[in-house]
């Protein structure tokens, strides 16, 4: 297995299962959008939406990426160690039942075991879906394997500044949109699109669910020829199944990230969307 060269300090943590001093690590008070990888082997481990402030002095995550972290109970049965599932490098410990977040799990990780890649990094592809209230669309994508981040925002209207208040009037041309950053080695654009078609009502022409208005219309935004072909193919398949697709294809435009209180809305409230649900289609 290909591994990265480690400094003495990193070796002490990752190979010799050491612990860095609390409040000393560079990712302790660090909340940018992106992906946390294993310092030793580069395997993706956690994403920023899983990170929370536990005030413990170490980076804390209430979940990990699918199958990326292995749990090993300590011999004395008191604590559970976590290691990278790919290389076995030491990460830290996991604590359950503390009720600090709705998932009641705290992966307590050494900053030195991690390497951060921001979502803005070009290595992640982006997809843009509008399917009514962005809270619900974001909620479903956050939990999908291969998705690095799902961010609520606006797209389609005037390419200067905009706000929720303005978009709510329904006459700005903007739709409520979710920006999906994804790892294409884990999930394809077609899979994302098919997933999107199963979590919103693509037949509704005046909004989504109880949310009526131009800002709640459904659309897929892209300016990529291959993606366009994929969208047409998937829409055709759905129409052959006997459904009408009202969701439109729109040219990708400038994305405006929504106000912070709109991000991770349901996660923060520990509730489920009123506006979206998964309906199997394919």
Residue 133 is a catalytic residue: yes
Whichever of 40 and 154 has its CB closer to Zn ion, that residue is 40
Binders of Zn ion in range 14-53 (CB under 5 A): 38, 40-41, 43
- CB nearer Zn ion, residue 27 or residue 141: 27
Can you tell me the distance from the alpha carbon of 5 to that of 207, in angstroms, rounded to the nearest whole number? 53
Instruction: Note whether 13 and 19 are within 8 A (CB).
Output: yes
Q: From the CB of 2, what's the least distance to Zn ion, in Å?
A: 11
From the candidates 38, 84, 133, 275, which is the catalytic residue?
133
What Å distances lie between residue 218 and 196, 242, 256, 279, CA to CA?
10, 19, 17, 16
Residues from 54 through 93 that contact Zn ion (CB under 5 A): 84, 86-87, 89
Nearer to Zn ion, 65 or 175 (CB): 65
Cβ neighbours, 10 Å, residue 154:
25
DSSP-based three-state secondary structure for 112:
helix
Judged by CB under 5 A, the number of residues near Zn ion is: 8
Residue 6 touches Zn ion, criterion: CB under 5 A: no
* β pairing state of 218-221 and 248-250: parallel
Which C-beta is closer to Zn ion: that of 34 or that of 157?
A: 34
First to last CA, the chain: 37
Chain residues that interact with Zn ion, rule: CB under 5 A? 38, 40-41, 43, 84, 86-87, 89
- Show which residues are catalytic: 108, 133
């Amino acid at each position: 297995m290909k591994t990265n060269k480690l400094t003495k300090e990193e070796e002490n943590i990752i190979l010799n299962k050491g612990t860095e001093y609390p409040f000393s690590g560079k990712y302790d008070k660090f909340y940018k959008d992106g992906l946390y990888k294993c310092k030793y082997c580069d395997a993706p481990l956690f994403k920023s939406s899983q990170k929370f402030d536990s005030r413990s002095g170490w980076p804390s995550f209430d979940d990990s990426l699918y199958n990326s972290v292995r749990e090993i109970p300590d011999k004395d049965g008191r604590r559970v160690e976590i290691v990278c599932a790919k290389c076995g490098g030491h990460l830290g410990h996991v604590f359950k039942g503390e009720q600090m977040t709705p998932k009641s799990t705290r992966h307590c990780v050494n900053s030195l075991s991690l390497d951060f890649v921001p979502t803005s990094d070009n290595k992640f592809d982006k997809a843009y879906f509008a399917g009514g209230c962005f809270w619900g669309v974001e909620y479903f994508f956050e939990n999908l394997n291969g998705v690095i981040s799902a961010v609520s925002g606006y797209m389609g209207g005037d390419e200067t500044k905009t706000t929720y208040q303005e978009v709510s009037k329904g006459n700005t041309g903007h739709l409520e949109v979710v920006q999906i950053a994804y790892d294409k080695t884990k999930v394809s654009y077609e899979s994302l699109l098919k997933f999107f078609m199963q979590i919103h009502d693509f037949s509704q022409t005046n909004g989504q669910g109880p949310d009526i208005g131009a800002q709640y219309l459904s659309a897929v935004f892209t300016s990529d020829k291959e993606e366009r072909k994929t969208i047409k193919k998937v829409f055709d398949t759905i129409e052959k199944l006997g459904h009408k697709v009202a969701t439109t294809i729109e040219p990708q435009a400038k994305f405006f990230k929504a106000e912070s209180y709109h991000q991770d809305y349901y996660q923060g409230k520990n509730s489920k969307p009123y506006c979206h649900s998964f309906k199997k289609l394919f």
